[in-house]
Chain A
Amino acid sequence: MGGSKRTGILLLLPAAILIAVLMLYPLGHMVGMAAVQNGKWVLTRSGLVLSRDGVFWRALWNTLIFVVASVTAEMATGLVFALLLWEGRGRAANFARGLILLPSMLSPTVVGIVWLLLFYPFGLVNWGTTLLGLGRLQYLADPRLAMASVIFVDIWQWTPFVFIFVLAGLTGMPVEPREAALVDGASAWQVFRYITLPLLRPTLAAALMFRVIDAFRAFDKILIMTNGGPAEVTTILSIYLYKVSFHYQNWNYGALLALVLITVTLAFHWTYNRLVVRRLA
């Protein structure tokens, strides 16, 4: 037993070292950067600055709006697409699956540039709305539309991720419970509500977790499309963190903001784990 324990430790050691070097060291370094500057303890002072930093609070609020809105819509849309194409057969269904997956294969930078051009006053989107008699809208320049527009682009790009996740869950689902329910006279809605959805919960839970973590990290698309504007309505934490670190060269405060972002993400992860994942398990 002792030998096998030792072997286990030995086998785990390379991975543990790799994690320590690649993850824990940079994380520790970041904590150090946030706490100490030129040999002086600055965390308390930085914390006070942070608590009074209006841009930070706006960015945090914008981040929460962005994450909640985009992930909710992605989950719903991904689920609908997966249900629609789940049992589809033939070339058309395969083509549709491939087409849906396409946006998630693009780099966020490319997505940002593509949508910047599409939202351009003379771009395709405004051409379409003009044809429909809605006129030209300033999707990225109007503070009332900018956040909705970047959320829409995120949904466009990441719905396929949820779609493929859910599709895999549906494909692996046992057919018997559904068949038995149908034989017993259950309606399609009842089958979905009481059979399919409960069986899909673990898959949805995992997809949701991945998406939330990823949405907290959203950055490149927004930077390209709006640079956090107009009037800071699309300044999310990652954009503010980037500006503080790379524009102002304030690495200490930037590291503190990164710690806040990580803490918020971990807090979500911990709560979600306790409330959802454990219950499912």
Chain B
Amino acid sequence: MSHKRQSQPPSRAKGRTRGHRAEAKISRRQFVRNLGGAAIAASAAAEGSWSALRAVAYAATSPAKELSVALSLGPWNGSVEYLFKKYGEATGTTFKTTKAPYIEHYRRMVQAMQRQDASYDFIVIDPAMYGTIFFKNKLVTPIKEIDPSWKPDPNLIEPHIKVGTYEGVTYALPIVGNTQLLFYRSDVTRAAGFAGPPKTINEMIEVNKKVTDTGRPFYGCIVPAKANYDIVYTSLAYVKSAGGDIFATDSGPDWTIRFTSPESVKGYKAWLSLRPWSSPDSANVHWAELMNYILTDRAWGGLTVAAQVFQIDDPKFSKVPGKIDVAMPLIIDGGSGKPAPILGTWSMAIPLRAPRKGEALAFMKWALTRENQRDFALQGGIAVRRDVLTDPALTKDPKNRWFAAELESSALGQLRPQMEHWIEVQDRMVPYLQKAFTNEMPLVAALNAAAKDVQELLDRYGYKHGPLQLAKE
């Protein structure tokens, strides 16, 4: 309560001392001030905009220090909500959260932002997948427009900022440093005679051979290849490490198809080379099922998102607590020489019509300070700061053994194409990658067929591109 009083604007505190209703959530003056926005609403409503009306209704009726947030349901929700609670205790701010499963959240956010809805003060989005829809169309507010003096803290891991930046303008700040990590059974690896996790695809094949040769149904590195984005997301790490890519540039303007280039074909071949040791149902396996194989002692490991890390030591989920470790994604021999983890960062963005942009940004900046990121990490969150992921007080705890890999992976984090129609492009690629994966089609033929489909999409939506170079055997 004392925090609340301290952080209230003077006018509000004064109002209370005069004997105004102590229990009122907002003062009369605040209410009148909020209603001032009614003028804006009236003009916008005259243009047929419901969103402005909603904005004023929300601002006038909600408590003065409430932030409305939209979240996608995910294993990281608890740690983010911990930050809301902590911020609330410090400032008196309350958080009204709206949660939905991934696709539903995405659909709601796109629709809400397109109609310039003002129901949310900030939204947590997956910018690598669909952020460009918001950034390119300016449906969310550039951070510098709210605070011209804002600069990214040098300790924030740069690729996490980059994923929320479009054409040099930062629209979203990271909150969950989700990136790709290789989850694997450390005990099984050691028992098979290996000193550590494989670093290259060839080493991975050697590990696969050894760990599956046990006489019990135990698979090697699971390759998730379900008819959804996992198949594109996972294979892209191999393609990029081989020096290939989906398009000539990640952010345009040259959208010439490159997943048929010799480097990309090499990457896809490396990805397919793991198939013999993956579970036989891999064409219907996605990240949750992949983790299930590892957690139930049925597979050695697999490449998936860091957000899964919360399960590895929890006996509620894992039959092998303490025996799962994480490492960097694999390097494709003869490629770029580096692993290419694909970013899956969750970021916070402020809608164009958000009623409390300043307050929302204040929270976002607060959440990214060292102290709060540290607490966030202690609650199981995936920190986005270098100084937290290298903090000796945290890294000495065995349950944080994944911090080093997460830092390295984030620092090398790769973008997915920053284009509005990326989801549609992926959906065009999925069936062909699956056909290659299930041997329905030779890889090169599948990539060429996918390329023709994607090229048709690029033409339909007017993306600039060079001539299509088909893949060769």
Is the beta-carbon distance between A231 and B438 smaller than 8 angstroms?
yes
Q: Give the segment of B178-186, B191-199, B353-361, B422-430 that binds chain A.
A: B422-430
Is the beta-carbon distance between B280 and A54 smaller than 8 angstroms?
no
Is the beta-carbon distance between B280 and A141 smaller than 8 angstroms?
yes
Please encode chain A, from 133 to 163, with 1 for each CB lying within 8 Å of some chain B CB and 0 for all others: 0001010111100100000000000000000
> Is A228 part of the binding interface, using a Cβ–Cβ cutoff of 8 Å?
yes
Given contact pairs A141-B282, A228-B227, A232-B227, A248 touches B438 in the complex (Cβ within 8 A): no
Please name all residues of chain B whose beta carbon is closer than 8 Å to the beta carbon of A121 when the two chains form the complex.
279-281
> What separation, in Å, do the CA atoms of A227 and B114 have in the docked complex?
27
Q: Smallest distance from the beta carbon of A205 to chain B beta carbons, Å?
A: 36
> Is A25 part of the binding interface, using a Cβ–Cβ cutoff of 8 Å?
no
Within 8 Å by CB of A231, from B228, B431, B456, lies: B431
Is the beta-carbon distance between A227 and B228 smaller than 8 angstroms?
yes
Q: What are 12 of the A-B contact pairs (CB < 8 Å)?
A: A121-B280, A141-B281, A141-B282, A143-B283, A143-B440, A227-B226, A229-B284, A230-B438, A231-B227, A243-B427, A247-B423, A248-B421
Q: Smallest distance from the beta carbon of B227 to chain A beta carbons, Å?
A: 2
Please give the residue numbers on chain B whose beta carbons come within 8 Å of chain A beta carbons, in ascending order: 103, 107, 110-111, 114, 133, 217, 225-228, 279-285, 298, 421, 423-424, 427-428, 430-432, 434-435, 437-438, 440, 453, 456, 460
Please name all residues of chain A whose beta carbon is closer than 8 Å to the beta carbon of B424 when the two chains form the complex.
247-248, 250
Please name all residues of chain B whose beta carbon is closer than 8 Å to the beta carbon of A248 when the two chains form the complex.
421, 423-424, 427
Is the beta-carbon distance between A141 and B284 smaller than 8 angstroms?
yes
Q: Smallest distance from the beta carbon of A152 to chain B beta carbons, Å?
A: 15
Is the beta-carbon distance between B298 and A141 smaller than 8 angstroms?
no
Given contact pairs A122-B298, A142-B438, A246-B107, A230 touches B423 in the complex (Cβ within 8 A): no
Q: Smallest distance from the beta carbon of B111 to chain A beta carbons, Å?
A: 7
> What separation, in Å, do the CA atoms of A249 and B421 have in the docked complex?
10
> Is A105 part of the binding interface, using a Cβ–Cβ cutoff of 8 Å?
no
Q: Smallest distance from the beta carbon of B108 to chain A beta carbons, Å?
A: 10
Which of B281, B423, B431 has the most chain A CB atoms closer than 10 A to its own CB? B281
Within 8 Å by CB of B227, from A49, A122, A230, A247, lies: A230
> Is A238 part of the binding interface, using a Cβ–Cβ cutoff of 8 Å?
no
* B-side interface mostly: helix
Is the beta-carbon distance between A138 and B284 smaller than 8 angstroms?
yes
Q: Smallest distance from the beta carbon of A135 to chain B beta carbons, Å?
A: 10
> Is A86 part of the binding interface, using a Cβ–Cβ cutoff of 8 Å?
no
Q: Smallest distance from the beta carbon of A257 to chain B beta carbons, Å?
A: 14
**Residues 229-251 of A contacting B (Cβ, < 8 Å):** 229-232, 235, 243, 246-250
Q: Smallest distance from the beta carbon of A178 to chain B beta carbons, Å?
A: 49
Is the beta-carbon distance between B281 and A120 smaller than 8 angstroms?
yes
Within 8 Å by CB of B434, from A120, A122, A230, A249, lies: A230
> Is A226 part of the binding interface, using a Cβ–Cβ cutoff of 8 Å?
yes
Question: Across the two chains, which residue of chain B brings its CB closest to A45?
Answer: B460
Please name all residues of chain A whose beta carbon is closer than 8 Å to the beta carbon of B226 when the two chains form the complex.
227, 229-230
Please name all residues of chain A whose beta carbon is closer than 8 Å to the beta carbon of B227 when the two chains form the complex.
226-232, 235
Please name all residues of chain B whose beta carbon is closer than 8 Å to the beta carbon of A226 when the two chains form the complex.
227, 284
Within 8 Å by CB of A138, from B217, B283, B298, B432, lies: B283
Is the beta-carbon distance between B431 and A138 smaller than 8 angstroms?
no
Q: Smallest distance from the beta carbon of B428 to chain A beta carbons, Å?
A: 8
Is the beta-carbon distance between A230 and B284 smaller than 8 angstroms?
yes
**Residues 46-62 of A contacting B (Cβ, < 8 Å):** 49, 52, 54-55
Question: Across the two chains, which residue of chain B brings its CB closest to A54?
Answer: B453
Please name all residues of chain B whose beta carbon is closer than 8 Å to the beta carbon of A140 when the two chains form the complex.
281, 284
**Residues 190-232 of A contacting B (Cβ, < 8 Å):** 225-232
> What separation, in Å, do the CA atoms of A226 and B434 have in the docked complex?
12
Is the beta-carbon distance between A229 and B434 smaller than 8 angstroms?
yes
Which of A227, A247, A250 has the most chain B CB atoms closer than 10 A to its own CB? A247
Is the beta-carbon distance between A230 and B283 smaller than 8 angstroms?
yes
Q: Smallest distance from the beta carbon of A245 to chain B beta carbons, Å?
A: 9
Question: Across the two chains, which residue of chain B brings its CB closest to A227?
Answer: B227
Given contact pairs A227-B228, A229-B227, A248-B423, A142 touches B283 in the complex (Cβ within 8 A): yes
Is the beta-carbon distance between B431 and A247 smaller than 8 angstroms?
no
Is the beta-carbon distance between A231 and B440 smaller than 8 angstroms?
yes
> What separation, in Å, do the CA atoms of A263 and B427 have in the docked complex?
26
Is the beta-carbon distance between B280 and A231 smaller than 8 angstroms?
no
Question: Across the two chains, which residue of chain A brings its CB closest to B435?
Answer: A231
Please name all residues of chain B whose beta carbon is closer than 8 Å to the beta carbon of A143 when the two chains form the complex.
283, 434-435, 438, 440
Please name all residues of chain A whose beta carbon is closer than 8 Å to the beta carbon of B111 when the two chains form the complex.
249
Nearest 6 pairs between A and B by C-beta? A229-B227, A141-B284, A141-B283, A232-B431, A141-B281, A230-B283
> What separation, in Å, do the CA atoms of A230 and B217 have in the docked complex?
24
Which of A52, A55, A141, A247 has the most chain B CB atoms closer than 10 A to its own CB? A141
Is the beta-carbon distance between A136 and B423 smaller than 8 angstroms?
no
Please name all residues of chain A whose beta carbon is closer than 8 Å to the beta carbon of B284 when the two chains form the complex.
138, 140-141, 146, 225-226, 229-230
Question: Across the two chains, which residue of chain B brings its CB closest to A246?
Answer: B107
Please name all residues of chain B whose beta carbon is closer than 8 Å to the beta carbon of A122 when the two chains form the complex.
217, 298
Which of B133, B228, B284 has the most chain A CB atoms closer than 10 A to its own CB? B284
Please name all residues of chain B whose beta carbon is closer than 8 Å to the beta carbon of A146 when the two chains form the complex.
284
Please name all residues of chain A whose beta carbon is closer than 8 Å to the beta carbon of B437 when the two chains form the complex.
230
Given contact pairs A247-B103, A249-B107, A229 touches B430 in the complex (Cβ within 8 A): yes
Please name all residues of chain B whose beta carbon is closer than 8 Å to the beta carbon of A120 when the two chains form the complex.
281
Question: Across the two chains, which residue of chain A brings its CB closest to B110?
Answer: A249
Is the beta-carbon distance between A141 and B423 smaller than 8 angstroms?
no
Question: Across the two chains, which residue of chain B brings its CB closest to A49?
Answer: B460
